[in-house]
Structure 1
C-alpha cells in the first residue's frame, strides 16, 4: 500500500511541474501581493482544488463504473486550454496596465534583464 501511495505522490509531483501547471500558477502568483503567506495560501488552495476534483471524478468512476469518453476528455482539455489562454491575457493586461517593461543593461561586464513597473507614476 505504501508503494502505491509513494508512486501516486511522485507521479503527482511530476505532473505538478508540467508546463500548463507552471504557467497557471505563475500567472496566479504574480496577480497580487507576493508575500510568503499569500503564496502558501495560493499553493494550498490550488492543491485542495485539484484534490477535490480528482476525488469527485474518481469517486464517480468507482461508484458508478462510469468511463470518461474521448469526447468528454477532449472537452475537459479544451476548457483547460481556454483557462490558460485567459490567464495569459490577464498577465499581459496587468503588464500593460501596470506599465511593466523590461530593461537589458550591464554591470561589471554582466548583461542582465530587469522588469520594471511604473504603476504609481502619473
Structure 2
C-alpha cells in the first residue's frame, strides 16, 4: 500500500523521464550513453532509495542547520558511489559471460533490500547503532590497563576508550548503496548489457548510469536535508519528529517490499 502510494506520487516525474528515454536514439554509442545518464537520474528517485537516504540523513549525528545541509549531499553521493561500485562488479560478470541476471537472484537481492530498509528504520527510530554494537563487542578485548599505587595499596583496573565522535554515517551510506546496486532496478539495468557486445562500451554505460545516480541522489538528499536543517536546527522535538517520520516511512517501505516479494512466491519457491 505504501509503495503504491509513493509510486503514484512519483508517477508524473517517472513519466517525464520515460518520455525523455523513449526519445533517445540508441543506434549509436552516444545515444546508449545518454540513455544511461537519464536512466541513472530516474533510478535515484525510486521510493526505496529516497527512503534509505532520508533515514540516513535523519540519523546523521551532525545536527544543526549547517551540519545537516553539508552532510546530506555527501550521504547521497556516497550512496551513489557504493551503488555504482557494485554495478561495475556485477556488470563486468554479465558482460564477460554475455548473460542476464537470473530472476530468482534478483528477487532475493530485492528481498535483502527490504530487510536492510527495516534494519535502517529501526536504527533511525531508536538511535541504536549496529556499528557501535559490534565495536563494543570487539573493544571488550581491547581494554587498557592502569595501575595506581597508594602507599602499600595497589589498584589495578581496566577500562575501554569510547570512539563515538560525531560523523555523517558515510560508511552506512556506502553499504546501503552497494546493496541497492546489486538489487532491484539496478539488476534490471543489467538486462541492457547483454545487448551491448562491447565490454568497454558496457562499462562506460554503467559509469554514465552511475554518474546519473550519484548526481540524482546527491540532489535528492540535499532536498531531504533542508527540512531537517531548517525545522530542527534549534528544536530537539522537531528533529525527533522528523526522524521518527523518516524511520516509520522507511520501515513501511521495507516491510511492504518484503511482503510483495514473499507473497509473489519469488523467495520460497
TM-score for the superposition, normalised by structure 1: 0.70
Q: CA RMSD in A?
A: 2.1
Structure 1 residues 70 and 16, CA, compared in 2 at 3 Å: closer, same or farther? same
Q: Secondary structure, in 3 states, of the residue corresponding to 1:115?
A: helix
Are 2:35 and 1:2 equivalent residues in the alignment? no
Q: What SS is found at the alignment partner of 2:117? A: helix
Instruction: Select the structure of larger CA radius of gyration.
Output: 2
Rounded to whole Å, the distance in 1 between the matches of 2:54 and 2:119 is 13
Equivalent position of 2:107 in the other structure: 74
Match of 2:175 in 1: none
Runs of 4+ in structure 1 over 4 Å off: none
Q: 1:18-64 deviations in whole A, cap 9, x for unaligned?
A: 10000000011121215243223322211110111111101001112
Secondary structure, counterpart of 2:238 in structure 1:
strand
State yes or no: 1:115 paired with 2:115. no
> Greater relative contact order (Cα 8 A, min sep 6): structure 1 or 2?
2
Cα distance between partner residues in 1 of 2:239 and 2:77: 29
Q: 1:85 aligns with which of 118, 123, 144?
A: 118
Higher strand share: 1
Distance 2:84 2:113 in 1: 16
Correspondence for 1:23:
51
| Aligned counterparts of 2:31 and 2:98: Cα–Cα separation in 1 | 25
Residue 41 (structure 2) aligns with: 13
- Could you tell me which of 28, 47, 51 is aligned with 2:84? 51
Aligned length: 99
Determine the C-alpha separation between the residues in 2 that align with 1:44 and 1:116. Answer: 23
Output the CA distance in 2 between the equivalents of 1:66 and 1:8.
19
Is 1:64 the counterpart of 2:97? The answer is yes
What are the ranges of 5 or more consecutive residues in structure 2 without an aligned counterpart? 1-28, 128-236, 241-269
